[in-house]
Chains A and B, each alone.
Chain A
Amino acid sequence: MAIQKILFASLLICSLIQSIHGAEKLRLFKELDKGALDVTTKPSREGPGVVLDAGKDTLNITWTLSSIGSKREAEFKIIKVKLCYAPPSQVDRPWRKTHDELFKDKTCPHKIIAKPYDKTLQSTTWTLERDIPTGTYFVRAYAVDAIGHEVAYGQSTDDAKKTNLFSVQAISGRHASLDIASICFSVFSVVALVVFFVNEKRKAKIEQSK
């Protein structure tokens, strides 16, 4: 019963929070000013078939106001640069799906950097973090206004997201120490069972022969 009460209370709280947040959700990607920023990426290793290593390789990213510019340039306060999945990495993976509704859009979950907006050329060198999954990526920079809403964007690839993509290979996450610990525990488990079993059988034989 206690669980039901807690759940009911959280239900009420959730619905309150929801009603407060309600208005924000319907901001759409297509309403943003396209191509407002020129974004370039230069991986530390380049060439045909090169796959970057997460945790080791770096990206040199630059961004600046593009020649097309934006009507809403005056609102630009912060530039948020993000790592985004290219279409090949979205296949059969609905949790990475591109939605027009910005709140639901899952294309660009990985934050690279956020810097205040400056009309001059900005750049950063970013090491691919160790929790980046294996996949094909591009970089997108959102121009965000004072209240945190996206206003415009620019990306390192074209509209169809086909050119200038780069591949990343994730870390395996495996560790020699983990492997060894795992083997030790497994062996202990089986051996302990066998020891108990053999011991009891032996005791039973002794009992029987008495």
Chain B
Amino acid sequence: MAHNHSNEDGSIGTSLHGVTAREQVFSFSVQEDVPSSQAVRTNDPTAKFALPVDSEHRAKVFKPLSFAKPHMRAFHLGWISFFTCFISTFAAAPLVPVIRDNLDLTKTDIGNAGVASVSGAIFSRLAMGAVCDLLGARYGTAFSLMLTAPAVFSMSFVADAGSYLAVRFMIGFCLATFVSCQYWTSVMFTGKIIGLVNGCAGGWGDMGGGVTQLLMPMVFHVIKLTGATPFTAWRFAFFIPGILQIVMGILVLTLGQDLPDGNLSTLQKSGQVSKDKFSKVFWFAVKNYRTWILFMLYGFSMGVELTINNVISGYFYDRFNLTLHTAGIIAASFGMANFFARPFGGYASDVAARLFGMRGRLWILWILQTVGALFCIWLGRASSLPIAILAMMLFSMGTQAACGALFGVAPFVSRRSLGLISGLTGAGGNFGSGVTQLLFFSSSRFSTAEGLSLMGVMAVVCSLPVAFIHFPQWGSMFLRPSQDGEKSKEEHYYGAEWTEEEKSLGLHEGSIKFAENSRSERGRKAMLADIPTPETGSLAHV
């Protein structure tokens, strides 16, 4: 549920707020008379910030090279924490050729462990929203980092397939830092730029999946040089991500700040605030069919990306007889493409929206995801190394851009259940990864190459449902917007999430304001409307 700073304090679990970065800044409203929900007022009215801030003390500018307290510091601590967790979750993947010999694993064992590594986060991501609400973003992040660090270290104890799977499952829980990172940036940055900020945080964090493919073989090699045998060296190599997690956890707790004005526990909540009911928020998220289409779509963009993080290094090592090092470099390139590809996807979605409205966003999403999947099919069929690398790079750019583009659409699906839908979509990514690994990479039925091609085919097929996402006010890929006078209004769509009783209490005002601002999704025609539409970025993503 997006954090509407005028009147809603999400109750526990509702506030994956800002996860999508559609928080609106309303040019004419200064909500001084309405108590702010997140207990922001300090005693010092002349609080000095390094960056220009809005009335809620959220930064209005994004300066990636600055570490200024508290905004940019929160951004950097947030994305680096998320990055560290990606490193830990996929740290085993490039070392599998050594681990499989040590633990006598079969292909089935390896595949199942891969499924386990992404499954934990399905639940932890959903729970993290509640944790951030209760304890603040710092503790949400720190909990995730420091409570899963023991799981990373316990790779020293692993002796067989079962314990290997259990440890990878537990390490996977730390991917919940995605939610806490996005939550943190949303309280620190204003709505106009939150798209770019979240896009960078998400994309740079995802890069961890690529960096780990380089880092772990390198660390393993260095440890071997000191005289350790391979079967001990790989266990020791896991100490690096583990220690990184502890260090980041401590940095987050000491250098970070929950809110622009201070930490959650030392600020006092002022005034009466209305909390939205979790049951209502949950119901409207689940009832909306578009949520489930996005769930599936993200499962085959981010899901495919997570699966590739697990299998690609071993694939290049085995199929092309490369060294662990070289396979790691190639595999790393896949994850590193996130640095540009994901923000590009969001940007492309924005440009398409400017020209063609929501219909443009949906087409861009479908095109990027399908093109990525087609290159995945090609990757599986490539039998020479240069072609395989080329196919992999094109595949990575398409799929990662699709992830970014999806979060150009997600914020508009619901206003009331915004955060929960983002959380569900995010969980869908992990779910899709689990499914593809289970189907194609966990048995000897398909070779890895065949598995890649089949996964690409499945992704193409499962990207088709985007054609069914229809907004009465904006249309869909193939259908025009509704001609009906009532239904063609954005207010009707977003107002439908509130009952008459709630409307009479004025609880839906945030949705109405959002509806007004979303008229830009009509495309060029919106330029003719007399209500000025604020520029909104849409690079928010999970």
Contacts and interface: CB of A to CB of B under 8 A. Distances in A.
Given A173-B235, A181-B239, A186 B104 contact: no
Nearest to A180: B156
Contacts of B447: 94
Interface in A160-205: 170-175, 178-179, 181-183, 185-186, 188-190, 192-193, 196-197, 200-201, 203-204
A185 B246 contact: yes
Contact of B246 (A3, A91, A104, A188): A188
Interface stretch (B70-78, B141-149, B291-299, B514-522): B141-149
Contacts of A134: 104
Nearest to B444: A92
B389 A92 contact: no
Given A18-B385, A18-B386, A185-B153, A193 B393 contact: no
Contact of B154 (A131, A135, A172, A182): A182
Contacts of A7: 333, 389, 393
B390 interface: yes
Contacts of A186: 149-150, 153-154
Given A95-B318, A173-B229, A178-B156, A11 B389 contact: yes
Chain B CB within 10 A, most for which of A12, A18, A95, A201: A95
Interface stretch (B46-54, B95-103, B178-186, B347-355): B95-103
Nearest to A173: B231
A116 interface: no
B120 interface: no
B442 to A, nearest CB: 10
B104 A135 contact: yes
A130 B386 CA distance: 35
A184 to B, nearest CB: 9
Contacts of B321: 103-104
B375 interface: no
Contact residues of A: prevailing secondary structure: helix
Given A14-B385, A94-B107, A130 B231 contact: yes
Contacts of B253: 193, 196
Contacts of B336: 3
Contacts of B389: 7, 10-11, 14
For B229, B230, B390, the residue with the greatest tally of chain A CB atoms inside 10 Å of its CB is B229
A11 B159 CA distance: 39
Contacts of B142: 193, 196
A95 B239 contact: no
B266 A92 contact: no
Interface residues of B, number: 56
B235 A208 contact: no
Contacts of B386: 11-12, 14-15, 18
A10 B332 CA distance: 14
B169 interface: no
A95 B315 CA distance: 10
B268 A208 contact: yes
Nearest to A104: B321
B102 A192 contact: no
Contacts of B443: 92
Given A189-B150, A208-B268, A174 B104 contact: no
A203 B102 contact: no
Contacts of A192: 146, 246, 249-250
A84 to B, nearest CB: 15
B157 interface: yes
Contacts of A3: 333, 336-337
B265 interface: yes
B235 A203 contact: no
Nearest to B139: A197
B157 A201 contact: no
Contacts of B139: 197
B226 interface: no
Nearest to B158: A174
Interface in A86-130: 91-95, 103-104, 130
A58 to B, nearest CB: 17
Interface in B233-269: 234-236, 239, 242-243, 245-246, 249-250, 253, 263, 265-266, 268
A1 B157 CA distance: 42
Contacts of B272: none
A30 B428 CA distance: 49
Contact of A203 (B236, B266, B337): B266
B349 to A, nearest CB: 22
A190 B150 contact: yes
Contacts of A12: 386
B153 A131 contact: no
Contacts of B243: 185
Interface in B20-47: none
Contacts of A200: 263, 265-266
Contact of B147 (A94, A131, A175, A193): A193
Nearest to A133: B101
Given A7-B333, A130-B229, A94 B153 contact: no
9 contacts: A94-B318, A135-B104, A173-B234, A174-B235, A181-B153, A182-B239, A189-B245, A193-B146, A203-B266
Interface of A: 1, 3-4, 7, 10-12, 14-15, 18, 91-95, 103-104, 130-131, 133-135, 170-175, 178-179, 181-183, 185-186, 188-190, 192-193, 196-197, 200-201, 203-204, 207-208
Given A7-B389, A92-B106, A189-B150, 9 more contacts: A15-B384, A94-B444, A170-B102, A181-B239, A186-B150, A189-B149, A192-B250, A193-B249, A201-B265
